[in-house]
Amino acid sequence: MPDLTEFQSKCEAALAASLAGVGAKLTDREIAGSRETYIRAKIGGTDLEIYIYSDEAQVQGLGVAERFEAPDFDTSDLLCEAFVRKAVALAENAVA
């Protein structure tokens, strides 16, 4: 199994914890990628999918495509926080 970066591990854990706080969870999780290892999962009960790359993240679904890229944030922690906030907000408002 490919190794995850510290960013990937921390960001996935933060997202899972925040989703649990609103009664949601990650499902269908897999580690994928041939050139770059990334985490792909769905947010259960929604059409949302998340991707966590080595230093960036994305949430997408019907009419949603939000990317969080390293150059847009001062630190990886701020990037992760913004990604988690957005993913949880979208999950709370999603209609399954």
Q: Looking at the predicted structure, is the pLDDT value of residue 80 above 90?
A: yes
39 beta partners? 31, 52
Cβ neighbours around 75 below 10 Å, total: 9
Mean per-residue pLDDT, 77-92: 96
State pLDDT tens for residues 27-69: 999 999 888 899 999 999 999 999 999 999 999 999 999 999 9
The predicted structure's pLDDT at residue 95: 46
In one-letter notation, the amino acid at residue 47 is: D
Q: Where are the domains of the chain?
A: 6-90
User: pTM for this one?
Assistant: 0.93
- In degrees and rounded to multiples of 5, residue 85 shows phi and psi of -55, -45
- Are 70 and 56 within 8 A, CB to CB? yes
Instruction: Name every residue whose Cβ is closer than 8 Å to that of residue 77 and which is 6 or more positions away in sequence.
Output: 10
Q: Looking at the predicted structure, is the pLDDT value of residue 96 above 70?
A: no
The predicted structure's pLDDT at residue 88: 96
Helix, strand or coil for residue 81?
Answer: helix
Give, for 20, the enclosing helix (H) or strand (E). helix 6-21
